[in-house]
Amino acid sequence: MGPGESAARHERAAAAAEELLRQHRHKERFAALPSPWEVRDPGFAYAVQGILVERLQALRGTSCCGYKIALTTPAMRRMVGFHDSISGRLLADRVLPSGATIHASDFGRLLIEFEIAFQLGADLPPRREPWSREAILPYVACAFPALEVADDRHADYDALGSSILTLAADNAWNEGLVLGAPVDGLTAGDLLAATGVASIDGREVGRGTGADVLGHPLDALAWLAEHLQERNLSLKAGDLVTTGSLVTSKFPAPGTEVSFEVSGIGSVSLQVR
């Protein structure tokens, strides 16, 4: 790609990011971006995402603090109709402690996902061999039970599989993260066997295991390391990473409490107002 083509592509990506920001301001329904902002390939999707995240950082006076991985479990892939994973960025101003209150009116349509999250204890170095769960575990400082806050803007899930590149461009719908207490010293076996139970107002609404997350939560982390390396990026010490929802997304109504308990890791909750 020549300099002129590269500049034109960047200009179109910037315009697509501005269109997504406009849609969010007006809480418009999510759909694949039409021409002239159409997202035709993953490289362009992540270029749009990068500009969108830069704009959000500037608008909110915040910084990136990690990544989300989406579509890592069979349940979520069936729900969305797409069978590969995508990533998004986490922003520090929307990382909240357990017990936080979320206002449904702030979103087009609030959804919550139920995840195991990690924090990196050291930078990942460049690596010739593919990352594996065994190779990446020493770089993990701790794990958390986590609730991801997202906004699907009333997406049509029957058509979502064909809109997946726009979903990636739209920062994979991330709007925040609520974390329980960190736990260190977990083994690969602990994470594989962990069972997560999702509840709304104390009633179970779903459950899954660490084995549901690309076979292992650390395999999801290894996938992200490879995915970022392909984009000349890498995980850094302190980065938070969510590994994908163990159960299908839920749409809690105002006045409810959402909780998630993960065996061997702990619990986390939020209030919806």
pLDDT at 3: 67
- Residue 164 burial (C-beta neighbours within 10 Å; 0-12, 13-18, 19+): buried
> H-type helices in the chain, by residue range?
3-25, 42-60, 74-80, 133-136, 164-169, 188-193, 217-230
CA distance 38 to 45: 9
Token couple for 26: 């007006």
- Residue 137 burial (C-beta neighbours within 10 Å; 0-12, 13-18, 19+): middle
Average pLDDT along the chain, 273 residues, taken 10 residues at a time:
75 96 96 92 96 98 98 90 93 98 97 98 94 96 98 94 93 98 94 97 97 96 96 96 96 98 98 98
Tokens 């990352």, residue located: 131
pLDDT at 6: 80
Respond yes or no on whether the N-terminal peptide bond of residue 252 is cis (omega within 30° of 0). no
**Whole-Å CA distances, 175 to 25, 67, 216:** 13, 12, 25
Instruction: Dump pLDDT digits (tens) for 91-101.
Output: 999 999 999 99
pLDDT at 23: 97
- 110-120 and 100-102: which strand pairing? unpaired
pLDDT at 130: 94
Whether residue 152 contacts residue 255, with contact meaning beta carbons closer than 8 Å, is answered with no
Let me know the angle formed at the C-alpha of 177 by 267 and 223, rounded to the nearest 5 degrees. 95
Amino acid, res. 171: N
In CATH terms, the fold of domain 63-272 is Fumarylacetoacetate hydrolase; domain 2 (3.90.850)
